[in-house]
Amino acid sequence: MTGCQAELPPHSDHRCAVASDGTSIVLDFDSYGVNQRSHAHIVARLQAEPHITTLKIIINQANIQQPEHLYHYLRGFGVPVLQFVPFVALDDVGALTTESVHAEQWGAFLIAVFDLWVQQDIETLHIQYIDAALAIWCGQGSPFSGDNALLVEECRECPVLRFCHGDSPQHRIANDGKSALCAGYRQFFTYSAPYMKALRDLLKQHRSPVELMAILAQSR
């Protein structure tokens, strides 16, 4: 990995754990930023492991607040795939922990990242949840193999079921048996639908999805 352009953001006196699983690096920030040592650590890991293709970023209460800063910081590393992993856990009394993200925040985060990607980086950056949704729009099958019978009724009747499929089982910790992030996923899949349809149609016509970026630029 060469040519890292990630710039250290301000207010960066924070912790960042870095772990590698071969092709991806997992970043666990306690802020949208990282400190000088952590930043240098990430850069060194990327230089030492040139086969790294994915940055997996744990999204928690501290770093969900400023998606634009986080997006631009991560994009600067030049790694082709970003994967955002929401942190969701319950405390001893069954409430979401203070570090956990909430559904509405998660929806707003997914939309903010999507807006940046669709306006700037359609062709140059892969974002796992966007790729997965677009694949379903393009009829390439659902990545979900779970049994619908295991889902609560609201999920089985949900208009975005084919994209969300009840979310991952470890997030189904709300009192009603749904994902704690349900409202956020509904928000994102509903918001992104017109863009996804436009991308699907461009791809069907063997046209470049970058055309959507130009259309959006003209409409602003």
Q: Which residues form the interface with ligand SF4 (CB under 6 A)?
A: 154-155, 158, 160-161, 164, 166-167, 178-179, 182, 185-186
In terms of CB distance, is 122 or 133 closer to ligand SF4?
133
CA distances from 218 to 36, 206, 214, 215 (A): 39, 22, 6, 5
List of E strands, 30-72: 54-59
CB of 178 to ligand SF4, least distance (A): 5
Burial 92-101 (b: 16+ CB within 10 A, else e): eeeebeeebb
State whether the Cα torsion 126-129-130-135 is positive or negative: positive
**Smaller CB separation from ligand SF4, 31 or 179:** 179
Nearer to ligand SF4, 101 or 164 (CB): 164
Nearer to ligand SF4, 16 or 103 (CB): 103
Q: How far is the CB of 70 from ligand SF4 (least distance, A)?
A: 24
Cα 199 from chain centroid?
18
- Residue 44 C-beta: closest distance to ligand SF4, Å: 39
| Cβ at position 134, least distance to ligand SF4 in Å | 18
CA distance 212 to 214: 5
CA–CA–CA angle 40, 46, 52 (5° rounding): 155
Q: Choose between 158 and 212: whose C-beta lies nearer to ligand SF4.
A: 158
User: Minimum CB separation from ligand SF4 for residue 15, in Å?
Assistant: 31
Residue whose CB is less far from ligand SF4, 39 or 172: 172
Task: For the CB of residue 159, give the shortest distance to ligand SF4 in the complex, in Å.
Answer: 8
What is the C-alpha separation between 103 and 154, in angstroms, rounded? 16
CA distance 57 to 124: 19
